[in-house]
Amino acid sequence: MPRISPSLLKKASSIRPGLHLLIPECRSLQQATLEYKWLSEELPPEKSILWACLQRYNHVPLQYILGSQPFGALDIICKPGVLIPRWETEEWVMELITTINNSTLFNHETPLHICDTCTGTGCIALALNHGIPNSTFTAIDISKKAIDLVKLNILKNKVGKGRLIQRNILTSTPSNVPPLHIDILTGNPPYIRKRDFNRDVKTSVRLFEPKLALVGELEFYQNLVEHWLSKTDSFFYEIGDTGQFDYVETRIKSDSKLSQSWSIGLKYDSNGKPRVVYGFKNNSKGARLLPLFENFGTLKHLATTETGAK
């Protein structure tokens, strides 16, 4: 990372007291000025701007200082101990909402049930529930802090009540998780490889966000294939590299039953990075989803349709 020049720090401190303290985290005067503006507009009245700038200098994430992060139409409360929602997640979740709502294939009179694993603040579950008329949701997380925060986020955002479950999804079977049938399964599991953690993760994340939410190998994708596919008509799981997509694709393709019943695709984010592995079942509902999800990302594997066509 390039070093910061003393003249930039001097320039910043001459513009506003404390502004220079934001430069190390923001890396540019433009970004620091924008953050300063957010801090001065949104900081709770009992906190001083100089205190906030010092927190930022000590790498505390902005969202923990301000207490929230916008996510689509929602304002998600953020607290230490629970991962802050990222723009990459917001991006695909918003596209998923638009894709579903633009489709005449969904009859909003029949409720769609969403199940969100590794829910954290609940941002994905609540945004989908808020954006898709007549939907219901279940949100699951291992962490009590996360589940408590989802409750606050439901109240704050006036989202309909969902079912919240505190559970380790790797050690419990989804058959114990209500409801029996899921229309849309989502998840943003911990997916930063242990070997990449120190190299790729920035200081503020490493110091202040929970490692439990960040570090994972392939176990959540294995859990998806082995335990959740039988319960849902479609799934959308965030990924951090193509290895995670390849794993899901290989597992599905190499299983004759799964390969016949699931079409899967890969979605890139607007930075050109692989971001979502998704799939839908080749049942009567799933087959009708095909045109919809052709535009969501790139379909890599098409299950043989009920009529035999590819």
Return the bridge partners of 84, or none. Answer: none
The yes or no reply on residue 89 touching ligand SAM (CB under 6 A) is yes
Please tell me whether residue 53 binds ligand SAM under the rule CB under 6 A: no
Q: Does 177 bind ligand SAM (CB under 6 A)?
A: no
Q: Tell me which DSSP letter residue 300 carries.
A: E
Q: Are 78 and 121 in contact (CB under 8 A)?
A: yes
Binding string to ligand SAM for residues 97 to 126, with x set by CB under 6 A, is what?
---------------------xxxx-xx--
Report the alpha-carbon distance of residue 166 to residue 144 in Å, rounded: 6
**What are the strands, taking DSSP E only, across 11-88?**
68-71, 74-77
- Our finding on whether 69 is near ligand SAM (CB under 6 A) is no
Task: Check residue 165 for interaction with ligand SAM (CB under 6 A).
Answer: no
Q: Is 123 left (phi over 0), alpha (psi -120 to 50) or beta?
A: alpha
Both tokens assigned to 203:
């200081």
Q: Does 213 bind ligand SAM (CB under 6 A)?
A: yes
**Interaction of residue 61 with ligand SAM, rule CB under 6 A:** no
Q: Collapsing DSSP states into helix, strand and coil, what is residue 194?
A: helix
Binding mask 273-292 for ligand SAM (x = CB under 6 A): --------------------
Name which position in 134, 168, 230, 295 contacts ligand SAM (CB under 6 A). 168
* C-alpha span between 38 and 33 (Å, rounded): 9
Report if residue 52 touches ligand SAM, rule: CB under 6 A.
no
Q: How far is the CB of 233 from ligand SAM (least distance, A)?
A: 21
Residue in 283, 288, 240, 298 with CA at minimum distance from that of residue 100: 288
Q: How far apart are CA 171 and CA 220, in angstroms?
A: 11
Whose Cβ is closer to ligand SAM: residue 24's or residue 81's? 81
Segment contacting ligand SAM (CB under 6 A): 19-27, 82-90, 96-104, 194-202? 82-90
SS3 278: strand
d(CA 138, CA 125): 8
Instruction: Note whether 234 binds ligand SAM by CB under 6 A.
Output: no
Task: Give residues 139-158 in contact with ligand SAM (rule: CB under 6 A).
Answer: 140-143, 146
Q: Which stretch binds ligand SAM (CB under 6 A): 95-103, 182-190, 278-286, 301-309?
A: 182-190
Of 32 and 277, which CB lies nearer to ligand SAM in the complex structure? 277
CA angle 180, 182, 183 (to 5 degrees): 150
Number of shown-chain residues binding ligand SAM (CB under 6 A): 22
Residue 238: how many CB atoms within 10 A of its CB? 25
Which of 169, 218, 277, 289: binder of ligand SAM (CB under 6 A)? 169
Interface positions with ligand SAM (CB under 6 A): 83, 85, 89, 118-121, 123-124, 140-143, 146, 168-170, 188-190, 212-213
